[in-house]
Structure 1
Amino acid sequence: MVKHTPKLTSSEVSMLWSTYIGDTMSICVLTHFLQTCEDQDVKPLIELALGYSIEHVAQLSDLFTKEGIPIPNGFGKQDVNLQAKKLFSDVTYMRYLHHMGRTGLNSYSLAKSVSARKDVRNLFKEFSNQNETLFDRNTELMQEKGVFIRSPYMDYPEKVEYVTERKFLGGLIGHRRPLLGVEIAHLGINIEVANVAKTILLGFSQVAQSKKLSDYFKDGYELGKKMVEDFMIKLKEDDNSYPSTWDSTITNSKEAPFSDKLMLFHSNAQSAIGIGDFGLAIAASLRKDVTLNYEGYILKLGAYAEQGAKLLIDHGWFEKPPQSIDRESLRNQNK
């Protein structure tokens, strides 16, 4: 008996679509990184990441064609200028790979968990395995070169204890208990993520063709800077260690390696990643002042992302994601 292959679910279509868009963007970014990379130890990692993205686009294009789904436009050769000079340092390239690899660890797991069809689950499993390989190799190279950003350290607990007082949850004023290990971990991660965003956005602001977009990227840089300062304060209040200084080496190039469209989309993607990270941090944090801090930045980052989405729409660059049928509109057509 021949088994019938069911249609893709809404979750599967959405995850496949966003993965395709992200990989076309990655191809553009990584192609320029590879063109300008000077460190012979870093080049093979960029080549590996680029090869994976090219392979993903081919596999997803084939699946979309078989399913009768239009292949998204995404990004292409018109969105990258291989003649443009180097904008970021090779250390930034490694940290970029680390940041995007960490994001991939989360997104591919989520994509597989919401997928029903075996071929789609296998596809995301393959993507996840590739991402883990790249992530591990890049992490090891960063450690070898002494540029890996470790989470803050803390003393080991000496015994098992139980919470006996509600003041453990803390308040907005007065004495607060020391931060939990998990709270320290999330603050450290979010400092690192904000630092990645700061570097990328500052570089984008330097080369954007549009003055409005240049200002927008600079605003994002300032928002990231404020996040880092506030998260560092939380760590320093309890005399905790904190991540080392971020290498934000940006050249003096004024040539844009990427189109304004790609840089704006990239900025919005970073905002989405940040909002997701803050949501996870809220779920893991019990001190009220810490969760309130994250909640405030979710609102600010959400407003920044909304402004970016409006700019994409205004420029005609917002490719509509898959969506359900507008039944109300169909009904009105018959009236």
Structure 2
Amino acid sequence: MEHHNPKITSAEISMLWSTYVGDSMAICILSHFLQTTEDQDINPIIEFALESAHDHLHLISELFTKEGIPLPNGFGKQDVNLQAKKLFSDVTYMRYLHHMGRTGLNTYSLAKSISSREDVRYLFKRFYDQTETLYDRNTKMMQEKGVFIRSPYISYPDKVEYITDKSFLGGLLGHRRPLLAMEIAHCGVNIEVSNVAKTMLLGFSQVAQSKKISDYFKEGYDLGKKMVEDFMIKLKEDDNSYPSTWDSTITASTEAPFSDKLMLFHTNTQSAIGIGDFGLAIAASLRKDLALLYEKYLLKVGAYAEDGAKIMIDHGWFEKPPQSIDREAIRNQNK
């Protein structure tokens, strides 16, 4: 029987390329975390995350070399200063790992579902399994140390009900029904993600070498702060429990542990994650006021991300992702 050996699809190239670049960035960030952590209990988890990221780069490098696909430059030693002083608290390290694990689980499950070649599906399963282990180990550690932030609680339902009144879908004015459990969950997630983002952005604004880039990070911090306030209001309106404020301790250091290029890319990645979360929240929210709030911030974060991309392009830092051939440009070459 003849063995069919298809090329890697556009979806597979895209997810592998993005994983490579993202993990090259993660290695820089985690290396500085490991260098500056004070709580030795956290070290094995950071080390495991680092080992997993290095494993991803090695396996993707092998596959791309075999297929004749150039490796992206990504990030390297020039983008991290391991001698720089500690910028974030150990609690921030743990919460960052939690956020990183959650994002990885979503990314790798999607990547496997859109991959067709057996060897690529194997890679994404391997990456998912590693991320699941990281997520579980870090969650357990956070719970043991009393710093894990749970999704808001509600009373258990005591009966099955059907909706009979179309006002259940709500309106922009007047009385609104209490939030559904799923709506509360998405508010909680978006509060958590926004808190992670604004903590990182405030730290980045403190150490960025360029004033323009520092101001950009501060603008993102202010946007994240406003999002947290607005999502909190939605929970408080119905007297729901809401995530407690979390330790966002940032030291007084002005010594940059990471390059401006890396911090800008990280911020754009965070923006993309936020936009994806807003899309999921819109799909899950039946109340019109909630959907409108998510749409508002989807547009604001999208505009903010575009501004960041423009800064990266101005500095020559925006590495071009894999793209289909520009047939129009080829045709114009012959004219």
TM-score between both structures, scaled by the size of structure 1: 0.99
> Match for residue 198 of structure 2?
198
Structure 1: how far apart are the matches of 2:130 and 2:141? 17
Matched residue, 1:254: 254
In 1: Cα distance, 2:140 partner to 2:3 partner? 45
Letter in 2 for 1:64: F
Q: Secondary structure at the match of 1:251?
A: coil
Q: Which amino acid aligns with 1:109?
A: S
Structure 1 residue 147: Cα displacement: 0.2
- Spell out the pairing of 1:125-164 with structure 2 (5 A cutoff): 125-164=125-164
Q: Which residue of 1 aligns with 2:324?
A: 324
Q: Could you report, residue by residue, the CA deviation over 1:271-314 in whole angstroms, capped at 9, with x for unpaired residues?
A: 00000001000000000000000000000000000000000100
Aligned twin of 2:98 = 98
Pairing 1:284-295 to 2, within 5 Å after superposition: 284-295=284-295
Give the match for residue 208 of structure 2: 208
- 1:30-50: CA deviation from partner (whole Å, max 9, x where unpaired): 000000011011011000000
**Structure 2 matches for 1:178-193, cutoff 5 A?**
178-193=178-193
Can you list the C-alpha shifts for 1:167-207, whole angstroms capped at 9, x where unaligned?
00000000000000000000001000000001000000000
- Aligned pair count? 335
Alpha-carbon distance in 1 for matches of 2:138, 2:82: 24
Write the distance in 2 (CA, Å) between the matches of 1:270 and 1:303.
Answer: 13
- Between the aligned partners of 1:82 and 1:123, the Cα distance in structure 2 is 30
| Cα deviation digits, residues 121-177 of structure 1 (max 9, x gap) | 000000000000010000000000000000000011111000001100000000000
- Give the secondary structure class of the aligned counterpart of 1:246: coil
CA distance in 2, matches of 1:163, 1:247: 41
Q: Pairwise CA RMSD of aligned residues? A: 0.6
Amino acid of the structure 1 residue aligned with 2:97: L
- For residue 4 of structure 1, what is the aligned residue in structure 2? 4
Q: Distance in 2 between matches of 1:120 and 1:187?
A: 34
Cα deviation for residue 4 of structure 1 reads 3.1
| SS of match in other structure, 1:178 | coil
Gaps of 5+ in 2: none
The equivalent residue for 1:43 is 43
Structure 1: segments with no counterpart, 5+ residues? none
Residue correspondence of structure 1 range 22-61 to structure 2 within 5 A: 22-61=22-61
Q: Distance in 2 between matches of 1:36 and 1:4?
A: 50
Q: Does 1:107 align with 2:69?
A: no
Matched, 1:313 2:313: yes
Question: Which residue in the other structure is 2:240 paired with?
Answer: 240
Deviations 1:97-126 (A, max 9, x none): 000100001000000011000000000000
- Residue matched to 2:303: 303
- Give the letter for the 1:99 counterpart: H
C-alpha separation between the residues in 2 aligned to 1:245 and 1:59? 39
CA distance in 2, matches of 1:46, 1:273: 22
Aligned to 2:72: 72
1:246 Cα deviation after fit: 1.5
* Letter in structure 1 aligned against 2:70: P
Could you tell me which residue of structure 2 aligns to residue 120 of structure 1? Answer: 120
> Structure 2: how far apart are the matches of 1:328 and 1:165?
54
1:2 to partner: Cα distance: 4.7
Q: What is the rounded CA distance, in whole Å, between the counterparts of 1:318 and 1:267 in structure 2? A: 13
Residue matched to 2:165: 165
Task: Indicate the percent of aligned positions where both proteins have the same amino acid.
Answer: 79
SS at match of 1:33: helix
Distance in 1 between residues matched to 2:236 and 2:38, nearest whole Å = 37
Q: What's the CA shift string for 1:27-71, capped at 9, x where partnerless? A: 000000000011011011000000100111011111110000001
Query: Which TM-score applies when normalising by structure 2?
Result: 0.99
Residue of structure 1 in register with 2:333 after alignment: 333
